[in-house]
Structure 1
Amino acid sequence: MKIIVPMAGRGTRLRPHTLTTPKPLIPIAGKPVVQRLMEDIVKICGQKVEEIAYVIGDFGKEVEKMLVDVAERLGAKGSIYYQDQPLGTAHAILCAAPSLSGPVVIAFADTLFRADFILDSSLDGVIWTKRVENPRQFGVVKKDENGFITEFVEKPEHFVSDEAIIGIYFFKDGEYLKQELQYLIDNDIKDKGEYQLTNAMENMKNKGSKFKTGTVIEWMDCGNKNVVLETNMKILDFVKNEEQLISRDAVIENSTVVEPCFIGAGAKIVNSKIGPYVSIGEGTTVENSELTQTIVGQNTVIKNVNLTNSMIGNKVFFNGNYREVSIGDYSTLE
């Protein structure tokens, strides 16, 4: 089995953090979103993953190496493809055309999930969905009385269904999917101005392909600051009994840590209260401060603050009098 990971989006809703760090690399409980997503899928899919193919923008060689390393640590080959223009989900997947063969999972790297992850090979595909309050923001599905999908609609202007596609898909035949994606490009078939995966799936369904939905227990978005912080909180709760969240190389002096928290290697916490639901990156120093429900990047210095519901990037110096902030990389605020 192969995993295709489209992740070239710019993440404009998460600025200023995504001005220097691609959204799928934003840390959640100490690990980049895409790494957590790959680890979760490989752990629960029940099949040997031979290759993880990433579709990225111009992220730089250091990021590319990190992504390949994630795949190799999971026992898979890591491949890198590029999407130079934001032309839609179908186009993004087709950028990894050489890797589209055999059974494939498509996983858009801006979401984390807990789900009933059964890859039913008697079906042509499984689409993971969850009911939402505002379906106009998502691709949605309609189903018949037997649970088979009867219609795929991309961001409906009028109510069609409240069952939203979360961005995780299984296709039994990657080669067939590739043909249908190429058909959209060759015939310039767009929806909302872009080449959409939902159009390809609708065509496949009309030709007889059988799709059902997978059950999603928890869908955690990473689209803006507030939902990233909420996702960080949930993931810390999920993994607190599975992962070593507080590094043995962290220095904690005259301080209290209210778990769950992540504290990276080389971090230094002095005269402070941290937590709950705080993630602090490697090499970061926190002095004379109190932090709750906050993410702090690597090699940052924080002094004399009382913060909640905040995100602070990498290599920041912050010595201020604010209660809630969102500070990008390489910033100074005092």
Structure 2
Amino acid sequence: MKIIVPMAGRGSRLRPHTLTVPKPLIPVAGMPIVHRLVRDIAKILKQPIEEVAFVLGDPAFFGDDVVESLQALGASLGAKTSIYRQDKPLGTGHAIMSAKASLSGPAVVAYADTLIRADFDLDPQADAVIWTKQVENPEAYGVVNLNSKNEITELVEKPKQFVSDQAVIGIYYFKDIGLLKQKLQQILDENIMHGGEYQINDGIKRMMADGKVFKTGTVDEWMDCGNKTVTIETNTKMLHFLDQEGEKLVSDSVTLNNAKIIPPCFIGENVVLNNTTVGPNVSIGNNTTLENSTVKNSLIQNQTSIKNANLDNAMIGNHVIYNGEFTSISIGDYSVLE
């Protein structure tokens, strides 16, 4: 089994945090988004992962440190790591085809801007599986249309009339991804674009037209990391899941001086808390210090210093120095407010 991860986007909706760090590498609940996504997919698949192929953007932004992080992720799964580049942002289909050399055999395609919780078995009778989540407002999403056999017959983008409440979340399984590769190559050769981009859906529709059987795999939770507000919400949900599963979230190297931690919280290595209350629903990265502060429902990254703060719904980057009394804030890397 292979996992193909297109992640060439810059994550503009999550600025300023993505001005220096690609969005898939922003830590949520103590782990970069793409690391947690790939690990969770591997857990669901319940079979060895042969290769993880990542499609990155401009090397000036997705540099050696990004490649090293992804290679470590692949190695942790005992898988080969392949790195590809998408030279132009020409859509989901174009991104997948940027990894053309890896498109053979069984594979999962997963876009690296969401996190999931799920437990299901892949249908052995299906040629492909599109992972979905039941939603209350399907008109805001791309949804699947199902027949009486629960086979997907159609993909409908933001339907004005009810089609189904199963929204496509951007994760796909193909028994032989080489078939999708063939159809997407036809799309590229024929220059079929929507909104100036080549779309994965056009390749999928051609597979359906050939009679290939598509089923759904329904996830229990689908968590977005598109902007600051929803990323904090996702951090909260993930902390609660990990706490319920008994995962160790607070490092033994944390120093507490007249300080209190209200779980669930993730607190990394060598964090110092002086006269501070942290939690619930807080993630704090390595080598960060908090003093005379109260923090809840927030994300704070590595090597940051926080003093005299009362934070709620805050997202603070790496190497930040902050001294103040603001509450709902979003501060990027290397900022100083004193």
Which residue is equivalent to 2:205?
Answer: 202
Q: CA deviation at 1:320?
A: 1.1
Q: CA deviation at 1:120?
A: 2.1
Describe the SS at the equivalent of 1:18.
Answer: coil
Q: Deviations over 1:124-167 (max 9, x none)?
A: 10111123344455332111121111111344566644421101
Describe the SS at the equivalent of 1:295.
Answer: strand
CA distance in 2, matches of 1:190, 1:205: 19
Q: Indicate whether 1:181 and 2:184 are aligned.
A: yes
Which residue is equivalent to 1:55?
Answer: 55
* Residue among 120, 123, 146 paired with 1:117: 120
CA distance in 2, matches of 1:137, 1:181: 26
Tell whether the 8 Å contact from 1:153 to 1:198 is kept in structure 2 after alignment: no
Which residue is equivalent to 1:89?
Answer: 92
* Residue among 290, 302, 316 paired with 1:286: 290
4+ residue runs of structure 1 moved beyond 3 angstroms? 133-138, 154-162
Which residue is equivalent to 1:322?
Answer: 326
Which residue is equivalent to 1:235?
Answer: 238
Which residue is equivalent to 1:28?
Answer: 28
Which residue is equivalent to 2:14?
Answer: 14
Tell whether the 8 Å contact from 2:320 to 2:335 is kept in structure 1 after alignment: yes
Q: Indicate whether 1:225 and 2:228 are aligned.
A: yes
CA distance in 1, matches of 2:302, 2:72: 20
Q: Deviations over 1:49-96 (max 9, x none)?
A: 100001111310011011011110111111111112111111111111
Q: CA deviation at 1:321?
A: 1.5
Q: Deviations over 1:17-57 (max 9, x none)?
A: 11111111111111000011111111221111100001111
Which residue is equivalent to 1:41?
Answer: 41
For residue 150 of structure 1, what is the amino acid of its counterpart?
T
CA distance in 2, matches of 1:157, 1:98: 39
CA distance in 2, matches of 1:177, 1:242: 39
**Structure 1: 5+ residue runs without aligned partners?**
none
Alignment CA distance shift 1:329-1:61 (3 Å) = same
Q: CA deviation at 1:116?
A: 3.4
Alignment CA distance shift 1:203-1:141 (3 Å) = same
Tell whether the 8 Å contact from 2:294 to 2:310 is kept in structure 1 after alignment: yes
CA distance in 2, matches of 1:84, 1:300: 34
CA distance in 1, matches of 2:26, 2:140: 23
CA distance in 2, matches of 1:331, 1:71: 32
Q: CA deviation at 1:183?
A: 1.0
Which residue is equivalent to 2:248?
Answer: 244
Identity percentage of aligned residues: 57
Tell whether the 8 Å contact from 1:132 to 1:162 is kept in structure 2 after alignment: yes
For residue 259 of structure 1, what is the amino acid of its counterpart?
P
Tell whether the 8 Å contact from 2:123 to 2:215 is kept in structure 1 after alignment: no
Tell whether the 8 Å contact from 1:114 to 1:217 is kept in structure 2 after alignment: yes
Q: CA deviation at 1:192?
A: 2.9
Describe the SS at the equivalent of 2:327.
Answer: coil
CA distance in 2, matches of 1:185, 1:216: 31
CA distance in 1, matches of 2:156, 2:83: 30
CA distance in 1, matches of 2:8, 2:281: 29
* Residue among 241, 252, 262 paired with 1:258: 262
Which residue is equivalent to 2:272?
Answer: 268
**Structure 2: 5+ residue runs without aligned partners?**
none
Alignment CA distance shift 1:46-1:62 (3 Å) = same
Which residue is equivalent to 2:307?
Answer: 303
Q: CA deviation at 1:6?
A: 0.7
Describe the SS at the equivalent of 2:314.
Answer: strand
Which residue is equivalent to 2:214?
Answer: 211
Q: Provide the aligned length of Structure 1 versus Structure 2.
A: 334
Tell whether the 8 Å contact from 1:154 to 1:191 is kept in structure 2 after alignment: no
**What is the RMSD computed on CA atoms of the aligned residues?**
1.4
For residue 316 of structure 2, what is the amino acid of its counterpart?
I
Using structure 1 for the length normalisation, give the TM-score: 0.96
Q: CA deviation at 1:115?
A: 1.9
